[in-house]
Amino acid sequence: MTDHKTSLESKTPASTKRKSTAVQVLQHLAGSSGGRLGGGIILLLVVCALFAPLVTPYDPIKMSPQDALSPPSLKHLAGTDRFGRDIMTRIIYGSRISLKVGFAGVSIAVVVGGMLGLLAGYYSGWVDGVICYFTNILLALPGILLALVVVAALGPGIFNVMIAVGISSIPNYIRVVRGRTLSIKEQEFVDAARVTGSSDARIIFRHILPNLFSAIVVLASMGFATAVLVGAAISFLGLGAQPPTPEWGIMVTDGRTMLRQAWWLSTMPGLAIMVTALAFNLLGDSLRDALDPRVRI
Amino acid sequence: MFFRVIVKRLAQAVPVFLGISILVFFMLSYIPGNAADILALEGGGSVSGEELQKLREQLGINDPVWQQYWRFFTKAVRGDLGRSIRTNQPVTKMLMENLPSTIQLAATSMVLAVIIGLTLGIIAGIKHGTWIDSGSMVVALLGWSMPQFWLGLVLMLVFSIKLKVLPITGGTEWQRLILPALTLALGFAGIIARLVRTEILEELRKEYVRTARSKGLKESAVLIIHVLRNSMISVVTIIGLQFGRMLGGAVIVESVFARQGVGRMAIDALIDRDMPVVQGAVLFLALVFLLSNLLVDITYSLLDPRIRIQSE
């Protein structure tokens, strides 16, 4: 809500104003325990993903049968699987895949969903009608089922999982962005821009889009958690990443049959999924409190 | 008057259902490796090109997709969803066999989720700002961040393998139901708890609460008579809308526990590329989802007259 003032006072140096908002948000995040915890975990995950070979001495794929199925110990923090591969190492390398799936899925959803939502909200009439119809169709299937159908049509593989996860979360963004656009375009500064002869494109990108920013950031953070969960579920069901890829969902499946003999096989990678989703949800919650208290869930 | 609302909502749902059926049909028709090829491969690879061609014709795979869709559609409106490529069973019959188990799972989970979620949410809302509040919200967020497929395995590990309270296979119907239902319920309980808390906090800020307090009403009366009652309208809606997501969750949970059901039927068919079964199951789930949302809409307008007037 404070943002649209910036648009009104178009002569105010926008950069300094925006920077101060960013600083405020960061301060808020650092001030809330949820924001600190979530942000800290995400930072750690990113560092692990980037520097995986430096973080762990083991190889995620090479087998060493003499170490097979050893329980968690100081040597193997999360134990080893039936091929003697270190589970912790596979979890660390797996974070690369999960973060990629989350990032790609959210990006697709934000770009496509955001664009369609903006168009639907800004131009009412048949554009809105068509986009809403399309949204309702996508919403008629539970998200995970939609993702599964898409990935089945595209075939297995991480890349297709990203697309499927992205498509399944598009309708959510359309709905929220459309709703926000509808209320923003009724505000005075949009009228002012129109009266002074701004083109539709200029109004959309220069005046409306910046005001959607906070809602999209909050949605994207929580959407990241969902994307990681859905991506892992697809691979868990055998339709996504394929062995021997160190992917968290497959690792949980792998350990399923040996739950009795080696509990750590499924439990550890599942914990990684949960901690990641939790971190993004905490961050999203905290961002929402800071940026946009009206967004629900 | 009320009848008109129902008719209007139904009229909106029909084109959406048609749309999803077209979308699903076309997406599935692009699946690499069609049924004829798969059947031929499984026959041991000894099928000649001529026989393969015959099989493809028999299955109608050579026709243009829209023609295939039309054939599917005209049969589907008469309740014929085709036959499984694997077992040759009619898909409709398979659905009817698998449905009761899914309904049982979804209904039990819904009850569990509502009980746990409402309790957590109400306590957190009333004790706002205390450790009880933050504690319940952490539990809620955890439930929501847990992958269901993993939670199911962990519950199995704890209750069946370590504590040996519940058998992994066999056992009574109730014993077989409890872990899947709990798995499915916990995430939703988390969502419900958070939303109930938000609703209560919002309601507590309203003027009438101050009025009620200032006229000397006991706090418990304020909460029960006013706040809870008024926040329940949105809560009912939220719970109703979660039902669809619960169907999605059932897909996963049924697979984890190897439990009979429409969701597992869909997944197994997807893995087997048994397209008629996938189509039937997916469209059936979409139908149930649409109908349940319709029901929520109607209930909502019954509960809240403002909505009813708006939509007329």
Please indicate whether residue A154 or residue B45 has the higher confidence score (pLDDT): A154
Asked if residue B87 belongs to a domain, the reply is no
How large is the average pLDDT for residues B295-301? 78
How large is the average pLDDT for residues A184-195? 88
Examine the fold and report which residue of B29, B52, B76 is the final residue of a domain before the chain moves on: B76
Closest among A35, A288, A221, A274 to B198, alpha carbons compared: A288
Model confidence pLDDT, tens digit, residues B229-269: 777 777 787 777 788 788 888 989 999 998 999 999 999 99
Q: How far is B215 from chain A (nearest CA, A)?
A: 31
Query: Which segment of A69-73, A284-288, B166-170 scores lowest on mean pLDDT?
Result: B166-170
Tokens of residue B61, six digits = 């795979």
Asked if residue B54 belongs to a domain, the reply is yes
Q: How far is B218 from chain A (nearest CA, A)?
A: 31
CA distances from A239 to A21, B256, B301 (A): 43, 14, 41
Is the pLDDT at B123 greater than 60? The verdict is yes
Asked if residue B168 belongs to a domain, the reply is yes
Mark whether B301 and B190 lie in a shared domain.
Answer: yes
Is the pLDDT at A119 greater than 50? The verdict is yes
d(CA A287, CA A138): 27
Task: Please tell me the predicted confidence (pLDDT) of residue A257.
Answer: 87
Which residues of chain A from 124 to 153 reach within 8 Å of chain B, CB to CB? 133-134, 136-137, 140-145, 148-150, 152-153
Please indicate whether residue B194 or residue B244 has the higher confidence score (pLDDT): B194
- Residue whose pair of structure tokens reads 């706040």 in the numeric block: B227
Mark whether B276 and B134 lie in a shared domain.
Answer: yes
The domain tally of chain B equals 2
d(CA A119, CA A126): 11
| B247: Cα separation from own chain's centroid | 2
Query: Which segment of A48-57, A95-104, B177-186, B230-239 scores lowest on mean pLDDT?
Result: B230-239
Residue of chain B whose Cα is closest to the Cα of A231 = B147
Task: Please tell me the predicted confidence (pLDDT) of residue B93.
Answer: 94
How large is the average pLDDT for residues A258-267? 90
Mark whether B139 and B113 lie in a shared domain.
Answer: yes
Model confidence pLDDT, tens digit, residues B78-120: 888 888 888 889 999 999 999 999 999 999 999 999 999 999 9
B276 cis-preceded (ω within 30 degrees of 0)? no
Mark whether B135 and B19 lie in a shared domain.
Answer: no
Establish if B148 touches chain A: CB-CB under 8 angstroms. Answer: yes
Mark whether B136 and B235 lie in a shared domain.
Answer: yes
Backbone angles phi, psi at B115, to 5 degrees: -60, -50
B287, B280 contact by CB (below 8 A)? no
Asked if residue B85 belongs to a domain, the reply is no
Mark whether B18 and B155 lie in a shared domain.
Answer: no
Task: Please tell me the predicted confidence (pLDDT) of residue B175.
Answer: 84
How large is the average pLDDT for residues A37-66? 90
* Residue A67 pLDDT level (bands cut at 50, 70, 90): confident
Mark whether B36 and B115 lie in a shared domain.
Answer: no
Mark whether B209 and B286 lie in a shared domain.
Answer: yes
Cβ neighbourhood burial of B63 (10 Å; 0-12, 13-18, 19+): middle
- Residue whose pair of structure tokens reads 């992205």 in the numeric block: A166
Model confidence pLDDT, tens digit, residues A202-244: 898 888 998 898 889 989 999 999 999 999 999 999 999 988 8
Is the pLDDT at A41 greater than 90? The verdict is yes
Examine the fold and report which residue of B43, B76, B109 is the final residue of a domain before the chain moves on: B76
Q: How far is B147 from chain A (nearest CA, A)?
A: 6
Tokens of residue A156, six digits = 């297995």
Model confidence pLDDT, tens digit, residues A79-108: 888 888 999 999 999 999 999 999 999 999
What is the sign of the dihedral through the CA atoms of A7, A9, A13 and A16? negative
**Residue B146 to residue A232, Cβ atoms within 8 A:** no
Mark whether B29 and B139 lie in a shared domain.
Answer: no
* Residue B199 pLDDT level (bands cut at 50, 70, 90): confident
Please indicate whether residue B58 or residue A14 has the higher confidence score (pLDDT): B58
Please indicate whether residue B1 or residue B158 has the higher confidence score (pLDDT): B158
Containing structural domain, residue B274: 92-311
Among A142, A232, A296, whose Cβ lies nearest the Cβ of B244?
A142
Residue type, A147: A
**Residue A267 to residue B146, Cβ atoms within 8 A:** no
Task: Please tell me the predicted confidence (pLDDT) of residue A234.
Answer: 95
Task: Please tell me the predicted confidence (pLDDT) of residue A12.
Answer: 44
Question: Domains in chain A, please, with CATH?
Answer: 34-59+83-291 (1.10.3720.10)
Model confidence pLDDT, tens digit, residues B35-58: 556 666 665 555 666 776 776 676
Per-residue DSSP letter, B90: B
Task: Please tell me the predicted confidence (pLDDT) of residue A2.
Answer: 40
Which region holds residue B60: left if phi is over 0, alpha if psi is between -120 and 50, else beta? Answer: left
Please indicate whether residue A272 or residue B162 has the higher confidence score (pLDDT): A272
Per-residue DSSP letter, A80: B
Residue of chain B whose Cα is closest to the Cα of A232 = B147
Mark whether B224 and B295 lie in a shared domain.
Answer: yes
Which residues of chain B from 149 to 208 reach within 8 Å of chain A, CB to CB? 149-151, 153-154, 156-157, 161, 191, 194-195, 198
Asked if residue B283 belongs to a domain, the reply is yes
Is the pLDDT at B34 greater than 70? The verdict is no
Instruction: Look over chain B and give the mean of its residue pLDDT values, rounded to a whole number.
Output: 83
Task: Please tell me the predicted confidence (pLDDT) of residue A214.
Answer: 86
d(CA B245, CA B242): 5
Task: Please tell me the predicted confidence (pLDDT) of residue B41.
Answer: 61
Is the pLDDT at A1 greater than 80? The verdict is no
Residue of chain B whose Cα is closest to the Cα of A164 = B27
Asked if residue B83 belongs to a domain, the reply is no
Mark whether B145 and B215 lie in a shared domain.
Answer: yes
Q: Is the ipTM of this complex over 0.90?
A: no
Strand partners, A86: A80
Is the pLDDT at B290 greater than 80? The verdict is yes
Which residues of chain A from 60 to 99 reach within 8 Å of chain B, CB to CB? none
Mark whether B30 and B128 lie in a shared domain.
Answer: no
